[in-house]
Structure 1
Amino acid sequence: MVLSGSHPWCLTHAIAAIADIDDTLWISNTSGHGNTTHFKPGQTQQLLGTEGNAVIIDAHSGFNPNALGAASGIIRAGGLLILLCPPLDNWHRHNDPEYSAILSHGCAPEDIQGHFLSRIARLIKASIHTITVEEGLPVPSLPVYETSTTDTWPDTDNLCRTDDQRKAVEAILRVATGHRRRPLVITADRGRGKSASLGIAAAQLLQQGIGPLLVTAPQPEAVTSLFDQATKLLPDADIRRHRIQHNETTLHFVAPDDLAQNPQEAALVMVDEAAAIPAPLLSKLLKQHARIVFSSTIHGYEGSGRGFAIRFRETLDQTTPKWRHLTLDTPIRWANGDPVEALTFQLLQLNASPSPDAMIKDSANGLGSIVKLSQAQLAKDEALLNELFGLLVTAHYQTTPRDLQMLMDSPDLSIYVLFRGSHIAGTVLSVKEGGLCKTLAQAIWLGERRLRGHLIPQSLANHAGIAKAAELTGERIMRIAIHPALRRLGLGKQLLETVITECQRKNRDFIASSFGATPALLNFWQISGLTPLRLGSTRDTASGEHSALVMLSLSEAASRIHTLARKRFIQQLPILMSDSLRDIEPSLAAALLSETSHSSAMEHDRLTEQDWLDSISFAYSNRTYDGCVLAIEKMLLKALRTKPAHIAPEILTLLVRKVLQKYSWQEVANQCQLSGEKAVVAQLRRGVRHLIELHLSECPTPVREKLHPLLNRQPI
């Protein structure tokens, strides 16, 4: 039901509508009313695993699309969803408090054109799934929907309520008891019983004495349904919060980052809501555990399971090629064709999808065209919006409905689309940043102000310590996505070149981006001329990686700042690698330090006679590591900057972990699978010999002649 009118009128009729309904949730930025449970829109993650008979969303206090997505999935069959909103024809003019989430400093609510809310209102008015009541018109009686109960479901095995669920339980049991290294991926829309399937399977395994069992998810609340189901089937078990013990076996929850960092023995690991967990964590769990099940929502406000399945498939194929995929289609919490689910999917584009692979490949023979779309164009063309948002969902599997609102309404957003025929092959989203006044720039530099948005200028001013950077005006690439069937064809680079040209035309000072850093992604940006100027000290919650900031200067002022920021980054990174960045991968360190352009001489580029003496005497004789470490570090940093591709991966790992990240001898031995300190030292000498060979042509002739006897000796 949609109640459209003044706020007092909406409240009066909403309270009347739920008078005889218990277990009602009220979602509002203000407060709840009557005998309801109140949640603020930003608390939607707490709704995971909960159920209710009715939900009221007060859009007068702010319309949060993620909250609608969360609320729609918790309503039981026969329940009621009530949306309170301003008059539909004027809703887009409403000064929505939730606009602050998509506004950067310098933009005002008046700058938002209201395309997102206009579209929502239009779809509501045309929907056959809603009862829309406008102020001044009579309120009709609500129809009574038959509620599905367990008695109406086929008795598949006295536990599972659908055949889909029975197959899922059997598949989970097979992972735990069958061949190792054959993980299972379960995907389903919400309300299909995937979490309950995990709970049923867990209970059966505990009854068979198989354990311990571990379950992980983005938040403990996400596995409430799993534990509830297992508890019902194990009435004699010792039940505690997120832990069940049955006889000698246990089922308990472990946070994903804790499980990845501190592996535990388990007969089976179950990962629920996997799409909301960073991909690197999932990959680590996959490699650590021989028996593991991943479960994810396909169309969810908390992250897209479709994107998860596509992007994670590559990792599964490489690591465990015999993995299986199972989809649950039949709903349990409500009936097929449920009106709330149908409307929510339509409003929030939860079923958005890119062009089918065959269709986009058929149109891929031409050169294609790159077009800059307006938000007004997207608002008027539902098919175009569906295809574009579907591509973004597929490429970035933590895309949420809030991102749809940002796409349609965020001021200063530029949308570039690469068409092949009439279909979208790729897209880039960029946003204008910077141009801040000197006073604000100084306050940001000193850490006294933190503005919404303007990520690149603020990071350079505060973290890199260059206040003037906040006064520059540039573009930040927020998203770049290429159709899965057309990747690795150079289309991303083609799109990026177009954006760079457009930025030059608009006299921007720079173009930049920030993303979860991997060697492959850094290589993509560096090929287009954007070099890394910063690496975040903590891992990003979305990507699971440290965020890298890359930049290409387009003006003389930006070039000066770029040169300074790059030099300071190269100076500071080796220091941070023994502190806050001690966990980054050696291959990432090499990618960050390597120079492709903007090269500037660094202190460690100049090897002194003593550096050569120390390095060679360590590599070819029996000098101690501690006595030669300064020279070894300088030689390693020089190699990483100028010749990283010439260092074999196993040598790179050994050298970076010990020399730069200061791992203990035992830590290095464990990581490099060596027997102990003596074996590590032997491999270090071998690694330093390789570095010497890389740089020997640069060694001054008098020094080389002096060292000639050592170089001709057989290594000890």
Structure 2
Amino acid sequence: MNEAVAALVAEARATNERRALVVHGARERCYAAARRALEAAGIEGTETTCVTTGDIGPAEHLPPRASGDLLGRTREAVVVDSHDETRPNALGRAVGAVDGGGLLVVLAPPLDAWPDRRDDFDDRLAVPPFDRDGVTGRFRRRLVRTLREHRGVAIYDADAETWEDDGLTDPAPRLAAGAPALPDPEDRAFPRAAYEACLTGDQLDAVCALERLRDPGAAVVVEADRGRGKSAAAGLAAGALAAEGRDVLVTAPRYRNAAEVFDRAAALLRDLDALDSRPDDTHPVRATEGGRVRYATPPAAVTEAADAVVVDEAAAVPVRVLERLADGGTPVAFATTVHGYEGAGRGFDVRFRDRLAEGDRTVTEASLAEPIRYAAGDPVEVWAFRALLLDASPPVPELVADATPDTVRYEAFGPDALVADPHLLRGAFGLLVAAHYRTEPDDLARLLDAPNITVRALTHDGRVVAVALLAWEGGLPESVREAMYDGETVRGNMLPDVLTAQLRDREAGAPRGLRVVRIAVHDAVRSRGLGSALLDAVAAEFGPDGEPAPWRDGETPDPLTARHEATGEPFDYLGVGFGATPRLLRFWRRAGYRTVHLSTTRNDASGEHSALMVRPFTDAGEALLARNGAWFRRQIPALLSDALRDCDPGVVVGALRATEGEFALDLDDREWRAVAAAAYGSGYFGSAPRPFRRLVARGVADGVVDGGTAQLLVARALQARPFAALADEFGYVSERACVKGFVAALDPLVEAYGGEAAREEAARYR
């Protein structure tokens, strides 16, 4: 074994590529083989990370659930142990951490038996009411096939002590890359050494773009796949700024994720003979002129003062934090990964990029395509992109540009059809990735193996233009419902879990629901009604009409569909949970969904309050909506003046408009006189807020007021925000003008709902 591993690593180092070594067999034999392989490769334990729950030897060990610690780091070797569980996210993060010339080691059970074994990750896919027996091994079967088909992947049988493939590629000699051309001296804002340290033209362009960090109000976005040198470019810019005496704040999910930024900043200051080498734990890098490069966690960075801010691994930072970092005038740079769905997935692209562009900042963008940490065409990267669909993308726009609701076909895609047709799989999964902030490699395994998941799509000339990922929820036995009521989390049952455990609806887990986990429409054909058409088709299939979707030739229904059809009954309701925005709330309301909950905390990934909505089909579904809709209407006024006080008023308006049933309007004559006096005369809102809250909630929900008027009423009457703050938020010239706007907005409400007492009071001032 030693000679073969030595040859594999020697080839990797000679080409500045990476190689993968798959060791399969019994656990302890694989561990022993891995130790021999690392020794033969000459890789020290200090340069190795083992992603495992076992003990492989002298090296850093991380459990699979903590694989996010690898983000932004570089290691000579990463060992991924798949004996206890095959977690796709951990595998993807491991690949991204291996340096050029390094080794990815995958330890697995015997390859031929691996797909049919059940492991701890499968337990996560066994969502009630389905059990572990319903989980399949399609993802692992596909993974094994890609390992055997791709170049640069060596496969060793630890039980038989034989090689299936030595992984050698015998590559042609590579031409040495030339140094990038430096910018003209008069165009340089940073020291010459910062540009000379760049290894590619892309990295040089990124450093030039980062010069904008010297300008107040600037924002710079640097994006790339892993290994392209974006963190190093950010570090060179940070070091150059520190050399000028500036205070640079660096943030990332963890300090170690941003280690490359600090290393490159220190190296540049050292080259400039400007590094203050005195130890200081608070400020990892200090310049002799007083500048510094220091770290803060993302929440702390929001309140820290600095001359410039660098956000590394921005895709893994909550969107709400990104928004707050983008507020104000401090120049800020965001370095983010394009593929890989690290951390929060594509929250940066899907939820944040547009907001950044719409703000007051001047945004400069740089993209790095040429690899630095390893050579272009690296076989491990090519394998990982295919195996985990890290570069999956929707069909090219030209092929679907003519799609309309009249030209598309509603189809069911079973996992066998997706595995059998790589183009179909890439198109469907790529659409989910492009449209959603939280799609990651684990979701690929869920799509292929989870028994509670089914896929429906609209296709145009056979190409996917809209796709919905649907999950079975509810239909739970009484014992499980009781456990949920007592606080036990039941995986994969979002609506029943929240309604039962948090909102104390003991029977919420009894009705059968179908939750829309994801829905995505191709960018080229948005705003044509395709999303609504897909939801209508889903409702027609799983509701009372029972119009089944066609399957691909020769394919049988997946476990969810088969189980549903065996009942002979419709689902009780369709449900959805999402990071609430005014646009999304309008979309789901028009699709027939009604609000049952608005979370009091923000989602870490989207930065938004989550809304839960229901579209009922049966009496049981109607009862679920009636109980929880009534609870929502009773509780929301108090929540808006407390935990939801900072919620976007537009979101509140959307949630109220989507309610089923009426808000109680139990005002007595005295309260009506107080409201009318405020609307038409000398009355004061602050002296009796209760009737105003009741009236505003009812009027907004009924649509009597809408748009900015409704949002102002919500912000003041329901959220109790001060007029001084609202004047600026809503564009009034003064606090007094804002008060007048609020008072004027009460007029249509009094006209719509006011009784005799209100009319008499109003007549006094007219």
TM-score, scaled relative to structure 1: 0.90
Partner SS state of residue 310, structure 2: strand
Correspondence list, 1:290-305, <5 A: 291-302=331-342
Change (3 A) 1:242 1:64: farther
Distance across 2 between alignment mates of 1:300 and 1:616: 58
- Offset of 1:120 from its aligned partner? 0.5
Tell me which of 666, 678, 696 is aligned to 1:636: 696
Determine whether 1:215 maps to 2:235.
no
State which of 240, 265, 277 in structure 1 corresponds to 2:281: 240
Query: Does residue 709 of structure 1 match 2:764?
Result: yes
Contact 2:347 2:436 in 1 (8 A): yes
What is the identity, as a one-letter code, of the residue corresponding to 2:496?
P
Alpha-carbon distance between aligned partners in 2 of 1:59 and 1:576, rounded to the nearest angstrom: 45
Contact kept, 8 Å, 2:115 with 2:141, in 1: the verdict is yes
Q: Quote the offset at 1:43 in angstroms.
A: 0.9
Matches within 5 A, 1:122-271: 122-134=145-157, 135-136=159-160, 138-139=162-163, 154=179, 157-173=195-211, 175-177=212-214, 183-209=219-245, 211-235=246-270, 236-237=275-276, 239-241=280-282, 243-246=284-287, 247-260=289-302, 262=303, 265-271=305-311
Question: CA shift at 1:124, angstroms?
Answer: 1.2
The one-letter amino acid of 1:40's match is P
Answer whether contact 1:304 1:398 (CA < 8 A) is retained: yes
SS in 2 for 1:663: coil
Deviations 1:422-474 (A, max 9, x none): 211010011111111223323423x3422222111122223332211211111
Q: Deviations over 1:380-429 (max 9, x none)?
A: 12221111111111111332111111111111211001101121101001
Tell me by how many angstroms 1:346 deviates: 1.6
| Pairing 1:571-610 to 2, within 5 Å after superposition | 571-594=634-657, 598-600=660-662, 602-603=663-664, 605-610=665-670
Match of 1:485 among 507, 524, 537: 524
1:701 & 1:366 partners in 2: Cα distance? 53
Letter in 1 for 2:641: S
Please give the alpha-carbon distance, in whole angstroms, between the structure 1 residues aligned to 2:616 and 2:318: 31
Find the aligned partners of 1:141 and 1:687 in 2 and give their Cα distance: 75
C-alpha distance in 2, partners of 1:565/1:553? Answer: 12
Partner of 1:542: 605
Q: Matched residues in 2 for 1:40 and 1:304: separation?
A: 19
Within 5 Å, which residues of 2 pair with 1:98-113? 98-113=121-136
Query: Aligned equivalents of 2:301 and 2:727: distance in 1?
Result: 22
Cα distance in 2 between the residues matched to 1:386 and 1:277: 27
1:657 match: 715
1:33 Cα offset (Å)? 2.0
Match of 1:4 in 2: 24
Aligned 8 A contact 2:217 2:328 in 1: no
* Structure 2 residue matching 1:131: 3-state secondary structure: strand
Asked whether the equivalents of residues 653 and 672 of structure 1 are also in contact (C-alpha less than 8 Å), the reply is no
Give per-residue Cα distances to partners, 1:579-604, cap 9 Å, x unaligned.
221210111111111256x323x33x
Other structure's SS at 1:333 match: coil
**Match of 1:277?**
317
Structure 2 contact 52–80 (Cα < 8 Å) conserved:
no
Q: Is the 8 A contact 2:347 2:605 kept in 1?
A: no
The letter for the 1-side match of 2:583 is A
Separation (CA, whole Å) in 2 of partners of 1:347 and 1:475? 29
* Structure 1: 5+ residue stretches without partners: none
Match runs of 1:504-583 below 5 Å:
504=543, 505=546, 506-583=569-646
CA contact (8 A) 1:298 1:304 kept: no
The amino acid that maps onto 1:164 is D
User: 1:527-585 CA deviation, whole Å, 9 max, x = no partner?
Assistant: 01101100112111121111110001111122122112111101101111122212101
Supply the AA of the counterpart residue of 1:171.
A
Kindly indicate whether the alpha-carbon contact (under 8 Å) linking 2:218 and 2:329 is maintained by their aligned counterparts in 1: no
Pairing 1:83-98 to 2, within 5 Å after superposition: 83-98=106-121
**Residues 55-74 of structure 1: matches in 2 within 5 Å?**
55-74=78-97
Length, aligned pairs only: 695
- Residues 408, 599 of structure 1: alpha-carbon distance in 2 compared, 3 angstrom cutoff: same
- 1:128-168 alpha-carbon deviations (Å, 9 max, x no partner): 2211223425348786999x99x987376431122221111
Comparing 37-46 with 361-370, greater Cα deviation is found at: 361-370
- Post-superposition offset of 1:517: 0.8
Looking at structure 2, the residues matched to 334 and 479 of structure 1 have their Cα atoms a distance apart, in angstroms, of 35
Moved more, 325-334 or 690-699: 690-699
Query: What is the aligned partner in structure 2 of residue 476 from structure 1?
Result: 515
- Judged with a 3 Å threshold, the aligned counterparts in structure 2 of structure 1 residues 36 and 424 are, in CA distance, closer, same or farther, namely same
CA contact (8 A) 1:364 1:421 kept: no
Distance 1:690 1:362, change over 3 A: closer
Instruction: Work out the CA distance in 2 between the residues paired with 1:141 and 1:563.
Output: 64
User: For 2:686 and 2:353, how far apart are their aligned partners in 1?
Assistant: 45
Q: Which deviates more, 517-526 or 463-472?
A: 463-472
* SS of residue paired to 1:469: coil
Q: Which amino acid aligns with 2:721?
A: Y
- Output the amino acid matched with 2:436: H
What SS does structure 2 have at the residue aligned with 1:467? coil
CA distance in 2, matches of 1:224, 1:145: 34
Choose the corresponding residue for 1:314, options 338, 351, 354.
354
- Structure 1 partner of 2:742: 687
Secondary structure of 1:128's partner?
A: coil
Letter in 2 for 1:232: A
CA contact under 8 A between 2:513 and 2:573: conserved in structure 1?
yes
**Which stretch has the larger CA shift, 664-673 or 157-166?**
664-673
Gap regions ≥5 residues in structure 2 = 1-20, 182-194, 547-568
Please report the RMSD computed on the Cα atoms of aligned residues, expressed in angstroms: 2.9
Q: Percent identity?
A: 31
Structure 2 SS opposite 1:377: helix
Alignment match of 2:477 (pick from 418, 425, 437): 437
C-alpha contact (below 8 Å) 1:78/1:145 kept by paired residues: no
User: What residue is the counterpart of 2:678 in the other structure?
Assistant: 618
Task: Give 1:697 shift.
Answer: 4.6
Cα-to-partner distance string for 1:25-47 (whole Å, 9 max, x where unaligned): 35344322222221111111111
CA-CA distance at 1:311 after TM superposition: 5.9
Cα distance between partner residues in 1 of 2:125 and 2:155: 28
Cα gap change, 1:280/1:491 in structure 2, threshold over 3 Å: closer, same or farther? farther
Q: Which amino acid aligns with 2:262?
A: F
1:664: Cα distance to partner? 4.8
CA distance, structure 2, for counterparts of residue 488 and residue 468 of structure 1? 38
Change (3 A) 1:32 1:699: same
